[in-house]
Amino acid sequence: MKHITGVVLLMLTFALLAHADSNPTDAQVSGKCMTCHKEKSAGLYQQWFMSAHAMHKVTCIDCHGARQEDKDAFMHEGGLIATLVTPKDCGACHPKEQTEVENSYHAHAGEILESADAYLAHVAGGEPVAIMGCESCHGGKVEIDHNSPNRLSPKSWPNAGIGRLNPDGSKGSCNACHTRHSFSVAQARKPEACSKCHLGPDHPQKEVYEESKHGNAYYTHMDEMSIDSDRWIVGVDYFEAPTCATCHMSATIGTPVTHDVGRRISWTLRPPVSKFKDDWETKRADMKAVCNTCHSSTFADGHYYQLDALVKLYNEKFAKPATEIMRIVKERNLLESPASFGNKIEWVYWELWHHEGRRARHGAAMMGPDYTWWHGIYDVAQHFYFKLLPEARKINDPELNAYIDGLITDDPMHAWLSTPTGELKEKIRSGEIQEIYKALFE
């Protein structure tokens, strides 16, 4: 095996040198890149050497070559290069993928820099955690430092955040999913590629996937997934399980591959109150096309019937009343501290929707029952009834008290608090309580 690998590497070297000879200027620079980095950063060199890029004679200068007008360009060993390779650079060879990424939610992830998430990281934590925490996943703004050897500020580089704001005006980082320098397609197809960022208390897609039947099927059939195949169509090239890429990006028999990760998502599960996305019917149809590869249409329809009801339950019973309480509190200037997040009730509300509420919605969307209930609506309910409402009561404002009184006495979804347990159990057995939620399934 070692002998065969050596022969392949030797043949590839000759091919690359032959390619370099076709462009004398690039040949000199490319040769120096490969010779030097093979010695000084052997892992980097080997990643590239065994990649599809190398096989197709794409050398270092093809990706890192820069123009004089590029803000991050600098001379290095006789060549004008840039350390940063952006989606605009990748788009020279992958224009379709670049366009899809530009239109995706991933490309806009860096906009979190102006969000409450980033504000909280800066004031409650501090700049170092905002850089290494938030921006590491969402992407930061890459700044130019003319005193730096590679012209990139050490505060903003390294950064492979999915929504990175690049000096050339592009957004995103292809190597967030296709790790440099191998840029493996197979790697990006695996759920582990997504799990750097999609995990934790506020969006635990990794954990939900692992507990779901989809994740169980994947981890028990990993060796049967044809993950390295050039063509990767579910139901044709593999059928044992879906990965994140299968559902959100990859091709099916009737659906093309896309790098727009939101193209098949019908609900927005991120904000305090969920809404259907624009053109949600088309997006749902695209996702159902994936589902129907391995499930009947009745199965897929039933899943969405249940999911829609869960999201509406979260919205109507908890999110909208909690948001209304916070609206009254803020509009009537009832908070003691003038700083956002300087009051306990703000933290309680934040965790109710930003943590527990998201977990419940993502758990339901990805068929993770434990996250739907125990890590989801269970925690939402506890936060709502025994943290948010008591904190609101402490303010002792007449308008606020009146709203809460009406909520827990007049709204049948909340009236259970003042009803004896025996009576509640009888209502469950008789189906009377279930009638309260009937409208959520419409």
Q: What is the pLDDT of residue 113?
A: 79
Alpha-carbon distance 22 to 319, whole Å?
63
Residues 218 and 318 in one domain: yes
> pTM for the full model?
0.90
In this predicted structure, what is the pLDDT of residue 32? 86
Residue 223, both tokens: 């060796």
Asked if residue 117 belongs to a domain, the reply is yes
Q: Are 44 and 94 within one domain?
A: no
Note whether 170 and 212 are same-domain residues. Answer: no
User: Is residue 404 included in any domain, yes or no?
Assistant: yes
**Residue 411 backbone dihedrals phi, psi, to 5 degrees:** -85, 120
- Note whether residue 424 is domain-resident: no
Distances (CA, A) of 368 to 45, 220, 289, 349, 380: 41, 17, 21, 24, 16
CATH code, 299? 1.20.850.10
Residue 106 located in a structural domain:
yes
**Parent domain of 318:** 185-411
The residue from 131, 165, 183 where one domain ends is 183
In a domain, 72, yes or no: no
pLDDT of residue 20: 40
User: Can you tell me the distance from the alpha carbon of 56 to that of 194, in angstroms, rounded to the nearest whole number?
Assistant: 27
Last residue of a domain, one of 183, 215, 245: 183
Same domain, 159 and 204: no
Q: Is 389 exposed, middle or buried (0-12, 13-18, 19+ CB in 10 A)?
A: buried
The gap from C-alpha 120 to its chain's centroid, in whole angstroms, comes to 20
Calpha distance 328→290 (Å, rounded)? 44
Both 16 and 163 in one domain: the answer is no
Residues in CB range of 373: below 8 A, 6 or more apart: 360, 363
CB 178 within 8 A of CB 184: yes
What is d(CA 298, CA 318) in angstroms, rounded to the nearest whole number?
Answer: 30
Contact between residue 64 and residue 175 where contact means Cβ atoms under 8 Å apart: no
Please indicate, yes or no, if residue 39 is contained in any of the structural domains. Answer: yes
Classify residue 138: in a domain, yes or no.
yes
Distance from C-alpha of 135 to C-alpha of 17, rounded to nearest angstrom:
39
Query: Do 101 and 238 share a domain, yes or no?
Result: no
Same domain (yes/no): 31, 170: no
20/159 same-domain check:
no
Please indicate, yes or no, whether residues 138 and 8 belong to a single structural domain of this protein: no
What was the pLDDT predicted at 374? 98
pLDDT in tens, the chain (442 residues): 444 444 444 444 444 444 444 344 566 676 789 899 999 999 999 999 999 999 999 999 999 999 999 999 999 988 999 999 999 999 999 999 999 999 999 999 998 878 999 999 999 999 999 999 999 999 999 999 988 888 999 999 999 999 999 999 999 999 999 999 999 999 999 999 999 999 999 999 999 999 999 999 999 999 999 999 999 999 999 999 999 999 999 999 989 999 999 999 999 999 999 999 999 999 999 999 999 999 999 999 999 999 999 999 999 999 999 999 999 999 999 999 999 999 999 999 999 999 999 999 999 999 999 999 999 999 999 999 999 999 999 999 999 999 999 999 999 999 999 999 999 999 999 999 999 999 999 9
**Could you count the other beta carbons within 10 Å of the beta carbon of residue 50?**
17
Kindly state the tokens that stand for 333: 């200037």
175 and 126 belong to one structural domain? yes
HEC readout, the chain: CHHHHHHHHHHHHHHHHHHHHCCHHHHHHHHHHHHHHHHHCHHHHHHHHCCHHHHCCCCHHHHHECCCCCCCCEEECCEEECCCCCHHHHCCCCHHHHHHHHCCCHHHHHHHHHCHHHHHHHHHHCHHHHHHHHHHHHCCECCECCCCCCCECCCCCCCCCCCCECCCCCECCHHHCCCCCCCCHHHHHCHHHCCCCCCCCCCCHHHHHHHCHHHHHHHHCHHHCCCCCCCCCECCCECCCCCHHHHHCCCCCCCCCCCCCCCCCCEECCCCCCEECCCHHHHHHHHHHHHHHHCCHHHHHHHHHHHHHHHHHHHHHHHHHHHHHHHHHHHCCCCCCCCCCCCHHHHHHHHHHHHHHHHHHHHHHCCCHHHHHHHHHHHHHHHHHHHHHHHHHHHCCHHHHHHHHHHHHHCCCCHHHHCCHHHHHHHHHHCHHHHHCHHHHC
Tell whether 418 is covered by a domain.
no
Paired sense of beta strands 79-81 and 74-76, if any: antiparallel
Same domain, 17 and 57: yes
Number of domains in the chain: 3
Which CB contacts under 8 angstroms, 24+ apart, belong to 96-101?
A: 96/259, 97/174, 97/259, 100/258, 100/259, 100/260, 101/172, 101/174, 101/259, 101/260
Q: Which of 126, 152, 183 marks a domain boundary? A: 183
The span from the CA of 106 to the CA of 139, in Å, is 10
Kindly report the number of other CB atoms within 10 A of residue 421's CB atom: 8
- The angle subtended at Cα 119 by Cα 117 and Cα 124, nearest 5°, is 100
- Are both 191 and 203 inside the same structural domain? yes
